[in-house]
Amino acid sequence: MKSSTIWFSVAGLSVAIILPFFLSQYWLHVMIISLFYVMMASSWNLLAGYTGQVSFAHAAFAGVGAYTSGMLSVFLGVSPWLGILIGIISAALLGLGLGVLCIRMGGIYLSLTTLGFSEIIRIIITNEDNWTRGTMGLQTPGLFVEYSKTGYYFIFLAVAVAIGVVIYKLIHSEWGLTMRAVLNDEIAASASGINTINVRLLAFTFTSAIAGLAGGLYGHYLMLVTPDIPSLGQMFLVLAMAVIGGMGSFAGPIVGSFVLEILSEYIREWGEYHVLIFGLIALAMARFAPEGLMGLWINKRKGHGHTN
């Protein structure tokens, strides 16, 4: 690990730990939501940025995690912690299934299939209102007996850091190297003895599990699980965070999550238009700074400020 990386991590963590003692309840809420997006965007980046599988089903898997845990706790009285675990497993299994279905496809076909899957999940959840309460939303219990925003903040922080560490280790391991090889040239990777199908499936399953975990936590924090979680609007927000922050870099999606979530609090009054703004920013970034904010930052530090 580079010394600058360690320095940034330590500084970031220290700030994160003392932060809740200075923030209002409102900004603490914004931080918790940002940490949810850190989990989502980082794992989506692992899938799209490192193995080139641009999936639109990531928010759907968060929905699977949220609804699995939510319904288990509401109807069977299962503890939310166990529910979240079962949600992770459900998301992983569904991810594996969808991964198998998509494995012969690449590029746009994979994207379209996952888009279709995502809509199927949302439609099922919206229509099966006996179980899910449809668009009304399912009221779920919280993680703590006594509500504590600070408690939620530290849970979200711990999980986000743990996910970050695992992803960091993974992309700097031989697995990460094979993922990049698959992204660079699948035929050459295969001719070099890499089981490219395994690499892609593992990435699909693992990142789906993380989305399930993020969704499960999110549901028990909001204590109201709605079809907004597995919606495409949510998906595009995650995508915008990864793209604007910088796809294919470790820090990119983390930076993107905080920047966009905090920014969206300021332009919330514009209603639906704030998603439009993010879309335009993402487009501009994709055109002029394809490596995102992180790419701009790294280029600047190297001393040549242009990007192309």
Q: Which is nearer to other proteins, 73 or 178 (CB)?
A: 178
Tell me the C-alpha distance between 275 and 234, whole Å: 10
Contact 155, 81 (CB under 8 A): no
Which region holds residue 236: left if phi is over 0, alpha if psi is between -120 and 50, else beta? alpha
- Shortest distance (Å) from residue 237 CB to other proteins: 27
53 binds other proteins (CB under 8 A): no
- Shortest distance (Å) from residue 178 CB to other proteins: 6
DSSP per-residue letters across 66-82 = HHHHHHHHHHH---HHH
Interior angle at CA 53, CA 198 and CA 276, nearest 5 = 160
298 binds other proteins (CB under 8 A): no
Q: Which is nearer to other proteins, 196 or 226 (CB)?
A: 196
If one counts every other C-beta atom within 10 angstroms of the C-beta of residue 128, the result is 13
Position among 10, 82, 177, 284 found at the interface with other proteins (CB under 8 A): 177
AA identity, residue 113? T
168 binds other proteins (CB under 8 A): no
**Which 178-237 residues touch other proteins, going by CB under 8 A?**
178, 180-181, 184-185, 187-196
1 binds other proteins (CB under 8 A): no
> Which range binds other proteins by CB under 8 A, 107-115, 138-146, 169-177, 226-234?
169-177
- Shortest distance (Å) from residue 186 CB to other proteins: 10
> Which range binds other proteins by CB under 8 A, 97-105, 175-183, 236-244, 282-290?
175-183
Residue 155: φ, ψ to 5°: -60, -50
121 binds other proteins (CB under 8 A): no
- Shortest distance (Å) from residue 42 CB to other proteins: 20
CA distances from 52 to 25, 49, 180 (A): 39, 6, 9
- Shortest distance (Å) from residue 183 CB to other proteins: 8
Listed in sequence order, the residues at least 6 apart from 225 whose beta carbon sits closer than 8 Å to its beta carbon are 66, 67, 70, 132, 137, 138, 140, 219
Q: Which is nearer to other proteins, 5 or 195 (CB)?
A: 195
CA distances from 29 to 1, 23, 73, 203, 218 (A): 32, 9, 23, 30, 11
Q: Which is nearer to other proteins, 193 or 271 (CB)?
A: 193
Q: Which is nearer to other proteins, 56 or 250 (CB)?
A: 250
Contact 282, 244 (CB under 8 A): yes
Q: Which is nearer to other proteins, 49 or 230 (CB)?
A: 49
Residue 166: φ, ψ to 5°: -60, -45
- Shortest distance (Å) from residue 102 CB to other proteins: 18
174 binds other proteins (CB under 8 A): yes
Q: Which is nearer to other proteins, 146 or 174 (CB)?
A: 174
Tell me the C-alpha distance between 144 and 232, whole Å: 30
Q: Which residues contact other proteins by CB under 8 A?
A: 173-174, 177-178, 180-181, 184-185, 187-196
